[in-house]
Structures are given as C-alpha cells and as structure tokens.
Structure 1
Amino acid sequence: MTLRLPPLNAVRAFVAAARHQSFTRAAAELHVTHGAVSRQVKSLEAHLGVALFERRIRQVVLTAEGQAFYAQADAGLAQIGAAARALTARAPVRAVRINVRPSFAVRWLIPRLPDFVAQHPGIAPEVITSTAAPARASDGFDVAIRRGLQGWPPALQVRPWLEDEALVVGAPALVEGAGRHVASPRDLAAHVLLGARSRKGDWDDWLRQAGVARLRPAGRLALDHLHLVLQAAVDGLGVAMAPRSLLARDLAQRRLVPLLPLHRLALERYYYGVAPGAPPEAQLFVQWLEDVRSAEPPA
C-alpha cells in the first residue's frame, strides 16, 4: 500500500513555526502571511490526527507529539535540501525571465522569490521590470504579469491569477495621534492623500464609492510608482491608497495599518502570460505563482 505523505508545504510551515516558536516569525521567513502558516499547520495536524502545537495568547508551544515530529521533519527537510544541492551543483544553471511592473517587483515578487529559489535551486529567476505593456516589451521574457487583459500579445497564453482591491493605509504614528484618528471617510480631510501617477483615478473612485466625493483633504501628493507611495506612507507623509497585493509585509510588520477596512475599491485582477516557446522553467514558475496564491487567500 502506498504511504500517504503529508503535504511538503505544510511540513515546511510547521518546521519554521516550530523553530521560531512563532507563526508570525515563521511567516516572515517564508514570505507568507501569519494566516497562511496557521492554515498549513492546521492542515498538517488534520493529516496526522494529532495536535502539534499548544496555542496560547501570543505564543505557540510544541506538544510532545510536535517535538517528536519536528526532530524528524527538520532533519528530513535538511536531507532533501542537501540532495537537491548535490544534484544542482553539477547541473547547468537554468533561467526563467519574468516581466513585471517595478512596484510589483519590489513589493510582491522579490520578497517571495527566496521561496521559489529554495524550491527550485537550479533555476535562476531573472526579473525584468517595465511599465510598458507586454505587447510592447523591448526585452524578451518567458512569463509576464500584468493587471487586466489589455496590452497582451495575441500569441501569449494569458490566464487569470490574483484578485485584488485597493484600501487606505497609514503609518501608526500618523493616524493614531490626537485628532488624527480615522473613524469615517470624512476624517481623511485632516490628512494628505498619497497616490501613484500610474493609478490617478483610484482616490477619486474610492471617495465617490465611500460617499464623500467632495472631500477636501489637507493636500494631495502624487508619486511615480506605488512602491514610492507606500514608502512615503511608511515615512508619515500622508495616507496612501494602495492595492492590497503590495501591502503584505508592511501590514504584517505594522509599518502601515489599514484604515476604514470596510471601504475597499475593487481593482482589475492580475493575469500572467507564458510566451510561446518558453522553457519548462516557465511552467514551474507559474505553478509556483498558483501555489503562492492558494497559500495566501484574500484577507
């Protein structure tokens, strides 16, 4: 009878959580959310039929069964890693060229790429940043990621991927001071509104949807790219309108906090396209994209 092995991603999440005795620190190591680690551990516990952690307030502690499994699983993962490194050390380096917009590269892709490299140590991801549509790309690529269905070359296989929405965020020190708290959309009048020139209509659309289209804020500041907008928000220059997809690390580390979380603006979803004749590495990369999306469901 074939042995039913536990899912490897769940084992990796458990080992990281056990090593740190923290789901939060494990999430930071794996570049996923706290909730994703918690779900993976719960799925592993369900698979094994035992509790691996004792959940306490702001702390998790290994059970006796968890300690026993951790000792074996940690060693097993290390052995798998060593075997993979021994093989890939002798193999020629392979590459996958990924075309994305700069803000997506900085805020979503690059923080998560260590996970792809760990899973596929013989593949070198080459990140190509461009604001041009894939149909107008000056450099060749194997995989491209963009919002919406406009601007794709007809020959590409384009598939729907990540759903997204925009929300308002700000630095804790900026919005938690006296007279600066944001309890309703009208409270934004006390703040400078930060936005990206590449997404000029988001603030107006959000204000209209929130019923305060005529709001007169303390000021508006437009920057070229969303990653600059978010850095400006972290530094306290104002409150930002930004896609949730680009906020994971800032929210997890509380550099930014969500304001008015019930007021969200739906955005075009992301799509990825695989170029004709792309190498097999491209399919491994898009499978990884799907795995990450599944592990990080919408908040």
Structure 2
Amino acid sequence: MISELPPLNAVRAFASAARHQSFSRAAEELHVSHSAVSRHIKLLEEHLGVLLFERRTRQSVLTPAGQTFYEQVSVALTQIANAATALTRGASMRKVTINVRPSFAVRWLIPRLPNFMALYPDIQPEVVTSTLPPDQSREAFDVVIRRGHTGWASNVQPQILLEDDMVLVAAPSLLQTLPLNDAGNLLRHTLLAGRTRGMDWKNWAEHAGIAQLRNQPTLQFDHMHLVLQAAVDGLGVALCPASLLGKDLSTGRLICPLPSLRLPLVRYYYGVSSEAAAETQLFIDWMFAQIHQDTTAPTDSSLTAQPTSAP
C-alpha cells in the first residue's frame, strides 16, 4: 500500500495550490518558486494519470477530479499534522519514573504530587509500585525508594532520604470508649498489623517495657495503608510509621495517644538509575523540600490529646 503513495512533496504542493486556487500563493506559503510548484503538480498529474487543474491566464481552477482528490488529501494531511503535533507535545512532556512500595505511594507520595506538578508542569511523574528489592536490571525507574540499605542491587547506590519512627494511632471514637492513657491500657484493644511488618508489635512492646502482646485480638492486612484505613474506621489500634500518617492527625481522623512513646525505624533510602532522566534531580530536591517542610511544621498538641470519655 505504501509503495502506491504518490510523491508526498507533490501532494503537499497540490494541497496548498488547491486551497489558495493559486500556484503563486502556494509558492509563497511553501517558500519555493512558482515553477517548483508547477513542476510538483505536473509530476503528480502524471503519476495519477488525471488532470488536477485547469490552467487559465490568471488562475488555476480545480477540475472535478482535482476537487475530489483535494477533499480526501486535505483530510489526510490534517491527520498527519495532528499526529505530529501530538507527538511533539508528548516529547516535550518530560517524565520521571518513581519506583516505591504501595503504602509509601498511597500515604506519602501521591498526596504531595499535586504540589510537584504545580511547580513543574512540564515534568510528568510516573509512579510504579513494587515490593521487590531495588534492581535496575529487573525494573525500570529513574529513582527508587525503599526502607533500609540492604538488598539493593550493586548498580544502585542507596542514599539517606527520611528518618522515621513507629507510633500508636487510633480513631478518636475508639479512644473515647476505651482510653489509652498508658501502654498497659493497650491490653484492652484489638491490634491492627501489616503482614509485611510481623515483628512490629513485639518490638514495640519491648521498647515500651510491657509484657509481650501474645493473646491480643489482632487484625492483619496486606499493606500499611489498609491498616491505617482500618484504624480510621475504629477497628483497633494501629502501630504505624509516622511517615505514612499524612494528614490523618492534622484533620483529627486519627489521634496519637502516646506521642512520646516512639520506636525508631530503619530509614528510607533512595537510589538513582545510571540512566535517569535529567529531571530526576529536580524530583529528589523537591522530596527533600517536602520532608523539611514536614519536620518544621508547627505541631498542634491538641491533636494527641485523649478524648474525654463519656460519663
């Protein structure tokens, strides 16, 4: 089919001449000579075996065959122009691929992305979630974020991103019914846990200096963002990385009943692909700015206060 195409430069010259009904104006539009336009159209007519224009003294008028051909060709040329424009716009939209764990994506990254997109409208962040250790040969990314610096592929160098602590959180309605004024009160509550963080409650109990929580009713979920949703819904008390709390404390959806009792966690690290887009550094700088903003934001102590129990 492609081999049957007429000379495309000749088609372009024809379309311009047909639109203007003038070889001279077509020449001006295409920045070529009048004779060049004339040669292109003659070549096209010979290729098609049809007369496309009726040459008059001061005007070139489309023949019926030329009119039919122009109507179809003009649509095709418009489609080509639109395709080229769309491709150019796509190429001008620079992309940064960010590989993170699902909970970090849902609870930390995605809520903040509107700010990044407002600052850098020409950079498209593409978020990819994975629970696998960072390995550039297995998964494509510009920047990857994981907790801890072990298990990384040798071609990705981890850099410190974020310090983190584990804290207790619960819905205000739950704490109003069953206050949690000290660690010992936890024995009256259902515990919410993530399957990928099976040792958290044991480690926290040791850190808090209380008996191991062995016989507590426990609900388990696949990811921490599901654990937090269960906490918001009042299903129990969650032990959660502070980095994933988002705006749940500031909006009052959750309360941190024992804010001074915090279990230090392994840091978050980030790594950059050897083939990372130049825009990746802008994204990294933006992340650090967000972290700095979070750590310097004023804390409202009333958010961690225990709700008064009903008499």
TM class by shorter chain equals 0.5 to 0.7
How far apart, CA to CA, are the structure 1 residues paired with 2:235 and 2:173?
Answer: 11
Contact 2:201–2:213 (Cα < 8 Å) also in 1: no
**How far off its partner does 1:89 sit?**
7.4
Larger Rg: 2
Instruction: State the alpha-carbon separation in 2 of the partners of residues 241 and 195 from structure 1.
Output: 7
The equivalences for 1:6-45 within 5 A come to none
Query: Take 2:122 and 2:223, find their aligned partners in 1: how far apart are those partners?
Result: 32
Mapped partners of 1:136, 1:184: distance in 2: 46
CA root-mean-square deviation = 1.9
Give the direction of change, closer, same or farther, for the CA distance of 1:280–1:111 in structure 2 (3 Å limit). Answer: same
One-letter code aligned to 1:186: G
Deviation per residue, 1:161-194 (Å, 9 max, x gap): 11000000000000112xx000111101111000
* 1:122-141 equivalence runs, <5 A: 122-135=122-135, 138-141=138-141
SS of aligned partner of 2:248: helix
2:109 is matched with: 109
Match of 1:50 in 2: none
Q: Which residue of 2 aligns with 1:227?
A: 225
CA spacing shift, 1:218–1:153, aligned 2, 3 Å: closer
Following superposition of structure 1 onto structure 2, how do residues 77-226 of structure 1 map, counting pairs within 5 Å?
A: 92-135=92-135, 138-177=138-177, 180-215=178-213, 218-226=216-224
TM-score w.r.t. structure 1 length?
A: 0.67
Taking structure 2 as the reference length, the TM-score comes to 0.64
Q: Which amino acid aligns with 2:127?
A: V
Q: Which runs of 5 or more residues in structure 2 are unaligned?
A: 1-87, 300-311
Residue 261 (structure 2) aligns with: 263
Match of 1:30 in 2: none
Give deviations 1:104-137, integer Å, cap 9, x for gaps: 0000000000011011100000000001111277
CA deviation vs aligned residue, 1:6-42 (integer Å, no higher than 9, x gap): xxxxxxxxxxxxxxxxxxxxxxxxxxxxxxxxxxxxx
Aligned residues: 210
Secondary structure of the corresponding residue to residue 261 of structure 2: coil
Task: Give the letter aligned to residue 242 of structure 2.
Answer: R
Q: Secondary structure at the match of 1:111?
A: helix
How far residue 262 of structure 1 moved from its aligned partner, in angstroms, is 1.4
Q: Partners of 1:117 and 1:190 in 2: how far apart? A: 45
Q: Return the alpha-carbon distance in structure 2 between the equivalents of residues 148 and 211 of structure 1.
A: 26
Matching residue within 250, 253, 256 for 1:252: 250
Partner of 1:274: 272
Q: What amino acid maps onto 1:297 in structure 2?
A: T
Contact 1:163/1:268 (8 A) holds in 2: yes
Q: Distance in 1 between matches of 2:137 and 2:206?
A: 35
Partners of 1:103 and 1:216 lie apart in 2 by 26
How far apart in 2 are the matches of 1:91 and 1:132? Answer: 30
Distance 2:137 2:231 in 1: 31
What corresponds to 1:243 in structure 2?
Answer: 241
Once the two structures are superposed, residues 259-291 of structure 1 have per-residue CA deviations (whole angstroms, 9 ceiling, x without a partner) of: 211111100011110100211111111111111
Q: Matched residue of 2:249: which SS? A: helix
Q: Is residue 136–residue 273 contact of structure 2 (8 Å, CA) maintained in 1?
A: no
Q: Please tell me the residue identity of whatever aligns with 1:241.
A: L
Q: Give secondary structure in 2 for the equivalent of 1:232.
A: helix
What residue in structure 1 maps to residue 45 of structure 2?
Answer: none
Contact 1:91–1:122 at 8 Å: present in 2 too?
Answer: no
Q: Please give the alpha-carbon distance, in whole angstroms, between the structure 1 residues aligned to 2:137 and 2:103.
A: 17
Q: Is the 8 A contact 1:107 1:246 kept in 2?
A: yes
